Amino acid sequence: MAGSDEQAVRARARLTALLADASTGALGAAGGRVAGVYLRSGTPGLLRLSVLAGLPSALFKPWWRLHVDRPFPVADAYRLGVQVVLPNATETMRRYPQFAAGLPFPFGSVHVPVPGGTEPLGVLTVLRPTQTDSADELLDRELLARLAEGLGAELLGLADGDENAVRWEGEPACVRPPATRPAQAAVGRFSWDPATSSVVADDRLYALLGLRPGEFAGTETALADAVAPEDAHRILAALRDAAAGKPPSAPLSLRARDGTPRLMDLWPAGADDVEQAVGGVVLDPGSAAAAEGAADLLPQGVFCLDRMGLIVYANPAAARLTGREREGLLGCALWDAMPWLTGPPYDDHLRGALLSPDPVHFHVRRPAGDGDAPGEGDWLAVSVHPGTELLTCTLVPASRMDTAAEPAPEAHVAEDTVAGGHAMAPLYRPIALAIALTDAVTARQVSAVVMQELLPAFGGRRLAIYLLQDRHLYLAWETGFPQGFLAPFDGVGLDARIPGVETLTTGRPLFFESMEQLAVAYPGIPLDADVGARAFLPLIASGRPVGSCILGFDRPRSFSTEERTVLTALAGLIAHAMERARRYDSEAALARGLQQALLPRRLSTHPGVETAGRYLPGTQGMDVGGDWYDVVEAGDGLALVIGDVQGHGVQAAATMGQLRSAVRAFALGDRPPDEVLSGTNHLLIDLDPGQFASCCYLRLDPATGLARIARAGHPPPLLRCADGRTRVLHVPGGVVLGVDPQARYPVTELLLEPDAILALYTDGLVERPGADIDEGIAALRLALAKAGAAASRRGGRSLAGVADRLTAGARHATDRPDDVALLLAARRAAPPRDRWPNRATGRPAPPAVR
In the beta sheet, which residues pair with residue 648? 625
| Cα 51 off chain centre by | 19
586 Cβ neighbours under 8 A, 6+ residues apart: none
CB neighbours (10 Å) of residue 184? Answer: 12
Q: 355 phi and psi, to 5 degrees?
A: -110, -20
Instruction: Calculate helix-pair angle for 429-437, 443-458, nearest 10 degrees.
Output: 160
- Residue 61, classed as helix, strand or coil, is helix
- The helix (H) or strand (E) run that includes residue 761 is strand 757-761
Buried b vs exposed e over 507-534: b needs ≥16 C-beta within 10 Å?
eebbbbbbbeebeeebeeeeeebeebbb
**pLDDT tens per residue across span 307-349:** 778 888 888 888 888 888 887 888 788 888 888 887 766 777 8
What is the average per-residue pLDDT within 154-165? 86
CB neighbours (10 Å) of residue 708? Answer: 18
pTM: 0.46
In this structure, is the dihedral angle defined by the CA atoms of residues 724, 728, 732 and 737, taken in order, positive or negative? positive
DSSP secondary structure string, 739-758? T-TT-----EEEE--TT-EE
**Shortest CA distance to 552 belongs to which of 513, 495, 605?**
513
**pLDDT tens per residue across span 17-36:** 889 888 888 887 887 888 99
Please give the Cα distance from 683 to 695 (Å, whole number). Answer: 14
Per 3-state DSSP, the chain is made up of helix, strand and coil in percentages (nearest 5) of 35, 25, 35
Please give the Cα distance from 843 to 846 (Å, whole number). Answer: 9
Please give the Cα distance from 351 to 312 (Å, whole number). Answer: 18
**pLDDT tens per residue across span 368-377:** 664 443 334 5
**Shortest CA distance to 103 belongs to which of 407, 319, 356?**
356
Specify the pLDDT at position 387: 73
How many C-alpha atoms does 126 have within 13 Å on its Cβ side?
A: 31
Determine the residue type at 691: Q
CA triplet 349, 355, 359: central angle to 5 degrees?
55
Work out the widest C-alpha separation in the chain, in whole angstroms.
Answer: 124
Peptide bond into 345 cis (omega under 30): yes
More confident residue, 151 or 835: 151
Are 548 and 500 a contacting pair, CB within 8 Å? yes
Alpha-carbon distances, residue 336 vs 107, 311, 563 (angstroms): 27, 10, 22
Are 758 and 719 a contacting pair, CB within 8 Å? yes
**pLDDT tens per residue across span 613-655:** 887 765 444 456 678 889 998 888 999 999 988 876 667 777 8
Of the ranges 38-42, 264-268, 696-700, which one carries the lowest mean pLDDT score? 264-268
Highest mean pLDDT (candidates 344-358, 390-404, 499-513): 499-513
Strands 46-53 and 173-175: parallel
Highest mean pLDDT (candidates 2-6, 51-55, 490-494): 490-494
More confident residue, 197 or 257: 197
CB neighbours (10 Å) of residue 329? Answer: 20
User: Number of helices (H) and strands (E), helices first, in the chain?
Assistant: 22, 33
In the beta sheet, which residues pair with residue 825? 612, 759
The percentage of residues in the chain with a pLDDT greater than 90, rounded to a whole number, is 21
CB neighbours (10 Å) of residue 603? Answer: 18
Distance, first Cα to last Cα, the chain: 63
590 Cβ neighbours under 8 A, 6+ residues apart: none
Average pLDDT of the chain to the nearest whole number = 79
Specify the pLDDT at position 846: 43
- Residue 127, classed as helix, strand or coil, is strand
